[in-house]
Chains A and B, each alone.
Chain A
Amino acid sequence: MSSGMKRALTLVALAAVPLAVLGVFFVLPVSGMIGEGFWVDGTFDPGAVLEVLGRPRVHRVIWFTVWSSVLGTTFAVLLGLPAAHLLYRREFLGRRVLRALLLVPFVLPTVVVGVAFRELIGESGPLGFLGLDGSAAAIIAGLVFFNVAVVIRAVGASWESLDPRPAEAAAALGAGPAHVFRTVTLPALRPAIVSAASVVFLFCATAFGVVLTLGGLRYSSLETEIYLLTTNLLDLQAAAALSIVQLLAITALLVVTGRLRAVPDPSLARSTARHRRPSRGDWPGLLAAGVVVVLVGTPLAALVVGSLRADDTWSIANYRALSGEGSHQALLVPVTDALVTSLRTAVDATWMSLSLGLLVAIVVTRRSRSRSERRVRGLLDGLFMLPLGVSAVTLGFGFLITLDQPPLDVRDSLLLVPIAQALVALPLVVRTLVPVLGGVDDRQRQAAASLGAGPVRAFMTVDLPAMWKPLLAAAGFAFAVSLGEFGATSFLARDDHPTMPIVIFRLIGHPGAMNYGMALAASVVLAATTAVVMLLVERLRVPSVGSF
């Protein structure tokens, strides 16, 4: 056998498992969902999709999705840029802690954030007098809450390693600070900013938990509308039609993002400069960081305070109640059981996404010998990013309608939820591992091989030492994402085996002060668990965590 053939076979063998998983649990559900929209009673009928798209409510939903995402993205970038400068170019006490804390919102369960915002701005909340409850402003604030961390991290990482000398050269030529920023720094950061902004837009447009908990009945995005159509109105065809719209829009967005990512400025020199302490000129950064801290801190503070209030006094009654099922038959199982389910599910989802992600990362980062091989690897890379673009709700919906008949009748399997969550986390795992593996000089592996190390031994010598920390970080990241996953899980979780976000959502949907108090307490517990995991991840100091 020629060595070229052997390479091709190795590539196929490594890619086979992730491809099969992606095929069964991603392509099949999504295509099933598309089929549901276009085929009515077994006959091809695209008219139905067009009919759905003609509904005035659908127009409102699409319009709301677009403008809320645009505003959410704009505010996240405007706040994130100066904050990134402060957190990644200035040295001050507590900088690392602050950075870590600002990463937490991104992985906080969406339902928890929804509950926290409601506690803050609801009628009886500290900011209730503003009348923001159920308003679009609240939703956008929620979107910014989540995504400002994405901007800070992505742009900050790029900014931190930016060579300061071109800016110094510009200053020496007589450019003022503002001019230097506009003519030198900003162009150098543009790829990172554009990339971060498009990812944030993607996240805003597919935000589910926040819009569902804060939007009430007045505002619905594509994502929540799909959910409502499926679960409340049982109008599967309309849901499918909307999913198709979303799929197309997001695929287009992903293609654009991919293009933007594919052309990083090669002339950009990287270095780690010594950072100064903040000075008076850093007021935009200080101001933005302050706003971000307030934006992130107040809802969480309101949440914690609210969870400690019961019957107008301080008490831990809400936490005690977590061992029960709430009032008015809100739940079938105690919240503590749900926590156990959540943790178990997260463990399963983590090993699944980690092993898949590792295989994918190895496949896409190996040096290609020919143009066709390079093309195959590029294609695989794009393929495994697809779950990032397909919303969790679409995925859950697709699972629901395709995996219910033999030979794939797995709807009652307890592994279904972790599989869906693993797919949601997969792109994040891959994006964490790929830069690390790609950064390993291939000649290191060749050096090991020339000293007599076989492929496995070479992997252990060269790749593993570079990988174990990112692997651990990716595991933590996947674990946190799985803990908070709500979109797909809301379709798939069984009533007798709910996860924490499902329980919280059910509690706030049921009347009764006790249920609401329990929702607050459960949110605090879930948020604290996630935050601890994320802070541990941050301690590993892996730069590619949370970059996209």
Chain B
Amino acid sequence: MLSLHDVSVAYDAVPAVVDATLTLADGDVLAVLGPSGSGKSTLLRAVAGLEPTTAGRICWDGADLAGVPTHKRGFALMFQDGQLFAHLTVAGNVGYALRLRRTPKARERVRELLALVGLEGYGDRLPGTLSGGERQRVALARSLAVSPRLLLLDEPLSALDAGLRERLAADLRDILRAAGTTALMVTHDHDEAFAVADLLAVMRSGRIVQQGDIAEVWRAPVDAETALFLGYARVLDGAAAGTLLAAAGLAAAPAVAVRRSALAVAEGGPLGGVVVSGRATPEQIRLVVDVDGIGEVDAVARLGTHPAPGERVALAVDPSRLAATPAGRERSGG
């Protein structure tokens, strides 16, 4: 079990991680989610033993890891761009740690690992001849080779293009489950975090602002900024929040985070408003509607309907796409 107690890291007295505390039980996969510059990669590197901590303790099964060098921690680290050894073949890369440990039957294990990541028969290729996705699969196999007690993933899918990322995220999740690996992943992409991890810790300006079960964090973001970072489109507060929560049949709260699809055009819906603008996407029509008593919010309509700007529409609310938050000012997110 990995546990961090009030860990701080600073570069030349500039704090990068401040008082980070978290625990990760064996077999769990935790995603640390944060915008770039939030200190999430530094946290990962500190766990790997690549950055010295300025305060706090990083422990494995209760034993403090301070002074244990990277190569003796037994944590495998997988980089955003794989960092395969270019002069070694795929099999040479995957079997690297096995050879270090003089593991018997290494060749067989390499074959198993390559099968696990879906690259049978790639053993003799050189990394330079692989595609980006294949390289990441090799890097994953290399990291898993000696069954590390903890796998550290640094934006493992960020260097890949969108379609591939989605597929590989699902594969990554299955592979980690199949191997029963404890993993700590950092990412700036909430979809990626959602696809791979069971637990989520949100980091901002060097601090962990929220952590817990991923669905739980999703359902109840701790504040407006976290909500926006998790993909909520807007956060409403004051009277607007009250109106919307009442329409959704939820208890009153000081603020509410709204997903883009929380409001949908529906005959007889409890809310009414005037369409401001509309845009068609392959799955639905995305609208901005000026809702009575709330103001401008996002809404969706089914394909085939054509709400024009200026038209009045009725809207239904999906309560599962709202999240009451303690406080917040209205902000729109990207």
Chain A proximity mask over B76-110: 1 for CB below 8 Å, otherwise 0:
11010001010100000000110011000000000
Interface residue A449 (Cβ < 8 Å from any Cβ of B): yes
Smallest beta-carbon distance A96→chain B, Å: 23
Complex interface: chain B residues within 8 A of A4 (CB): 52
Smallest beta-carbon distance B334→chain A, Å: 28
Query: Is there an interface contact between B71 and A447, defined as CB atoms closer than 8 Å?
Result: no
Contact among A1, A3, A451, A454 for B96, CB-based, below 8 A: A451
Contact among B66, B87, B146 for A452, CB-based, below 8 A: B146
The answer for the CA separation of A125 and B48 in the assembled complex, in Å, is 71
Scoring B66, B87, B146 by chain A CB atoms within 10 A of each residue's CB, the highest score goes to B87
Smallest CB-CB separation from B101: which chain A residue? A452
Chain B proximity mask over A440-475: 1 for CB below 8 Å, otherwise 0:
010110111111111101100110010000000000
Query: Is there an interface contact between B74 and A452, defined as CB atoms closer than 8 Å?
Result: yes
Query: Is there an interface contact between B100 and A453, defined as CB atoms closer than 8 Å?
Result: yes
The answer for the CA separation of A542 and B146 in the assembled complex, in Å, is 36
Complex interface: chain A residues within 8 A of B261 (CB): none
Q: With A1-B67, A451-B96, A452-B97 given, is the CB distance from A446 to B74 under 8 Å?
A: no
Interface residue A371 (Cβ < 8 Å from any Cβ of B): yes
Give the size range of A's interface with the partner. Answer: 20 to 34
Interface residue A2 (Cβ < 8 Å from any Cβ of B): yes
Complex interface: chain A residues within 8 A of B49 (CB): 449
Interface residue B161 (Cβ < 8 Å from any Cβ of A): no
Give residues 220-261 of A contacting B (CB, 8 Å): none
Complex interface: chain A residues within 8 A of B51 (CB): 369
Complex interface: chain A residues within 8 A of B50 (CB): 446, 449
Summarize B's interface: helix, strand, loop or mixed: loop
Q: With A441-B83, A444-B85 given, is the CB distance from A451 to B100 under 8 Å?
A: yes
Q: With A369-B52, A452-B146 given, is the CB distance from A447 to B100 under 8 Å?
A: no
Smallest beta-carbon distance A299→chain B, Å: 43
Give residues 366-399 of A contacting B (CB, 8 Å): 369-371
Complex interface: chain A residues within 8 A of B72 (CB): 452
Interface residue B295 (Cβ < 8 Å from any Cβ of A): no
Q: With A2-B52, A3-B52, A4-B52 given, is the CB distance from A450 to B70 under 8 Å?
A: yes
Scoring A3, A455, A458, A462 by chain B CB atoms within 10 A of each residue's CB, the highest score goes to A3
Smallest CB-CB separation from A444: which chain B residue? B83
The answer for the CA separation of A374 and B210 in the assembled complex, in Å, is 36
Interface residue B142 (Cβ < 8 Å from any Cβ of A): yes
Smallest CB-CB separation from B145: which chain A residue? A451
Smallest beta-carbon distance A173→chain B, Å: 32
Smallest beta-carbon distance A328→chain B, Å: 59
Smallest CB-CB separation from A441: which chain B residue? B83
Chain B proximity mask over A34-49: 1 for CB below 8 Å, otherwise 0:
0000000000000000
15 intermolecular pairs with C-beta atoms under 8 Å apart: A2-B52, A3-B52, A3-B69, A369-B52, A447-B77, A447-B79, A447-B83, A448-B85, A449-B50, A451-B71, A451-B76, A451-B96, A452-B74, A452-B146, A454-B69
What is the interface of chain A, defined by CB distance below 8 A to chain B? 1-4, 369-371, 441, 443-444, 446-455, 457-458, 461-462, 465
What is the interface of chain B, defined by CB distance below 8 A to chain A? 11-12, 48-52, 66-67, 69-77, 79, 83, 85, 87, 96-97, 100-101, 142-143, 145-146, 152
6 closest Cβ contacts across the A-B interface?
A450-B77, A449-B70, A451-B97, A447-B83, A465-B87, A449-B71
